[in-house]
Chains A and B, each alone.
Chain A
Amino acid sequence: MAAALISVPKKAKRGDVVEIKTLMSHIMETGYRRTAAGELVPRDIITSFTCRFNGEEIFRAEFFPAIAANPFLSFFTVASESGKFDFEWTGDKGFSETAAASIAVE
Chain B
Amino acid sequence: MPIRQISKTTRRRVLHLAGGAAVAGALPVMTSRQANATPAMLTSAIRNVVGEAPVRNGKIKLDIPPLVENGNTVPMTVSVASPMTADDHVKSIHLFNEKNPQPNIGNFYLGPRAGRAQLSTRIRLADSQKVVAIAHLSDGSFWSATADVVVTLAACTDEVL
Contacts and interface: CB of A to CB of B under 8 A. Distances in A.
A30 B124 contact: yes
Interface residues of B, number: 39
B121 A32 contact: no
Given A76-B115, A76-B118, A66 B31 contact: no
Contacts, number: 112
Contacts of B109: 59-61
A58 B122 contact: no
Interface residues of A, number: 31
Interface string B112-124: 0111111111111
Given A38-B31, A77-B115, A66 B97 contact: yes
Given A32-B101, A65-B101, A75 B106 contact: no
Contact of B123 (A34, A35, A68): A68
Interface in A15-39: 17, 30, 32-36, 38
21 contacts: A32-B34, A32-B156, A33-B158, A33-B160, A34-B32, A34-B160, A35-B160, A36-B161, A61-B107, A63-B106, A65-B101, A65-B124, A66-B104, A66-B125, A68-B72, A68-B74, A68-B122, A68-B124, A68-B155, A72-B122, A76-B115
Interface of B: 31-32, 34, 72-74, 95, 97, 100-102, 104-111, 113-125, 155-161
